[in-house]
Homo-oligomer: A and B are copies of this chain.
């Protein structure tokens, strides 16, 4: 393809859109040299053209008609950073059918409708690139597709939600409780007024669905992820975990066993050993830890959100889309999901667990608890009595690896037991 400029339609001029505009403007010369052709933003779809912006955008680029971008024959690439689900999906499908390459940061969309988008891109020989949909600026989508293409990936563990990592870091370092840490995060702009999607783990679940699809070459969608948020993690759990040599992180995990037929996928607060690379990832940072048969272990660390980091990922994708246009090889590395694997029922997965319970404070009670656990095949690695509260005693148990279904059955049985007052939600323990 010989053309002297590549024309981009930008859908959305919020935080990320502003970043994309800034980066494509200020680094235009280098981007042109790297991509081989200059890149020009020709149209920008916004909700409110009159809105004050932190970047100086020529008014005549703005339109409120997003549909007009995907139907504009002069545009080569659509960059979608406006978010949204059904209508956005429809627009992007139309853009692909119209022969445009699409770059998107929309994790909700990819985690639910990635497959139809990629199949449509393939059918129309266009690119659909989504590096920005997972972990902001951190390169992970392309490394999984390319750099690690010689590996069988067995495991991905990620801290891929900055809000919850900020909250847990504050709880760990400053001894805050969840509500106070959340409030601080909201005041600093790290958490939304409605924090549900972050603190309940849904945001991380969408991202791990995308990563698992790439790593295991089989589509995984958001509703298949077993999700537990951090709202029930207490400062007490964090303190006890610390005494045991662990740090509590909200981990998004995707694993497959030797046979590579079934995928375990979950988001859950997890005890991570203090010397694990993920344990050192603090504040609003993200990191993705990958285990493969050749590479061993690798970790990718950086800013998982924000105007410019996310724009960095979008701009990298734009450069690739331009190179592919230039070389006439669009749609060459789209859907790596050539396998059909099942999702392992979460009760059939195995893990070590951390349990905290209040029990009656009298001789023989620890033995009774151990007996119940033993009846369900739960083997105890360590059991500690932490403190007494009136005539109750608090105990903490760390188990050996056990089937999650057995563990949950044992917990249910314990909750009914006469010597047990409460059993808090068990937490996973990684090693």
- Chain A residues close to B by CB (< 8 Å): 19, 23-24, 26-27, 30-31, 33-35, 131, 137-139, 142-143, 146-152, 217, 277, 280, 292-303, 306, 308-309, 311-316, 318-320, 323, 327-329, 332-333, 336, 338
CA distance A430 to B301 in the complex (A): 19
Q: A142-B146, A299-B302, A301-B301 are in contact. Are A311 and B294 (CB under 8 A)?
A: yes
In the complex, A31→B138 CA distance in Å?
25
Residues of B within 8 A of A316 (CB): 146-150
Q: CB-CB < 8 A to A329: which residues of B? A: 327-329
- Measured CB to CB, the nearest residue on chain B to A326 is B332
How many angstroms from the CA of A161 to the CA of B204 in the assembled complex?
34
Q: For the complex formed, measure the closest distance between the CB of A100 and the CB atoms of chain B, giving whole angstroms.
A: 19
Q: Chain B contacts of A315 at CB under 8 A?
A: 149-151, 294
Q: Hey, which chain B residues are within 8 Å of A306, CB to CB? A: 296
Supposing A292-B312, A295-B309 touch, asked if A150 and B280 sit within 8 A by C-beta, the answer is: no
CB pair A308–B336 under 8 Å, yes or no, is no
The quantity of this chain's copies bound in the complex is 2
When chains A and B are docked, how far (Å) is the Cα of A311 from the Cα of B152? 13
Across the interface, A33 reaches (CB within 8 A) one of B23, B217, B308, B311, namely B217
Nearest CB on B from A407, distance (A): 32
Residues in chain B near residue A26, CB distance under 8 A: 293
Instruction: Give me 6 other A-B pairs in contact (C-beta within 8 A), A30-B217, A149-B316, A296-B306 excluded.
Output: A27-B294, A146-B320, A149-B315, A296-B308, A298-B300, A299-B300
- The answer to whether A295 touches B308 (Cβ under 8 A) is yes
Please measure, in the bound complex, the distance between the C-alpha atom of A319 and the C-alpha atom of B294, giving whole angstroms. 14
Q: What are 10 pairs between A and B in contact, CB < 8 Å?
A: A26-B293, A27-B293, A146-B320, A151-B315, A294-B315, A295-B309, A297-B302, A298-B301, A323-B333, A329-B329
When the two chains form the complex, which single residue of B31, B35, B150, B338 contacts A27, counting CB atoms closer than 8 Å? B150
Residues in chain B near residue A34, CB distance under 8 A:
149, 217, 336
Q: A138 contacts which chain B residues (CB < 8 A)?
A: 298
- Inter-chain CA distance A333–B338, complex, in Å, is 27
- Residue in B143, B149, B303 whose CB lies within 8 Å of A296: B303
Instruction: Provide the residues of chain B in CB contact with A142, threshold 8 Å.
Output: 142-143, 146-147
**B137, B152, B298: which contacts A298 (Cβ < 8 A)?**
B137
Alpha-carbon gap, A303 to B148, bound state (A): 13
CB-CB under 8 A from A280, the residues of chain B are: 277, 280
Report yes or no: A312 in contact with B150, Cβ–Cβ below 8 A: yes
Task: Check A319–B149 contact: CB distance below 8 A.
Answer: yes
Min CB gap A330→B, angstroms: 10
When chains A and B are docked, how far (Å) is the Cα of A27 from the Cα of B301?
A: 27
Bound state CA distance, A295 and B301, in angstroms? 11
Q: Are A147 and B313 in contact (CB under 8 A)?
A: yes
CA distance A306 to B295 in the complex (A): 9
A271 to chain B, nearest CB (A): 18
| Cross-interface CB contact of A294 among B137, B294, B328, B336, cutoff 8 Å | B137
Q: Among B150, B298, B318, point to the contact of A302 (Cβ < 8 A).
A: B298
A299 x B297 contact (CB < 8 A) = no
Closest to A151 in B: B312
Interface pairs A-B: 9 shortest CB-CB: A150-B315, A139-B147, A298-B302, A294-B312, A295-B312, A149-B319, A137-B295, A299-B301, A139-B143
What is the minimal beta-carbon distance from A386 to any residue of chain B, in angstroms? 29
> Which residues on the B side are within 8 Å of A23 (C-beta)?
150-151, 293-294
**What residues of B have a CB within 8 angstroms of the CB of A137 in the complex?**
294-296, 298
Chain B residues within 8 Å of A19, by CB:
294
Q: Do A30 and B152 touch across chains, with their CB atoms under 8 A apart?
A: yes
A338 and B33 form a contact (CB under 8 A): yes
A328 neighbours in B (Cβ, 8 Å): 329
Cβ contact of A150, chosen from B31, B143, B301, cutoff 8 A:
B31
Residues of B within 8 A of A33 (CB): 217, 338
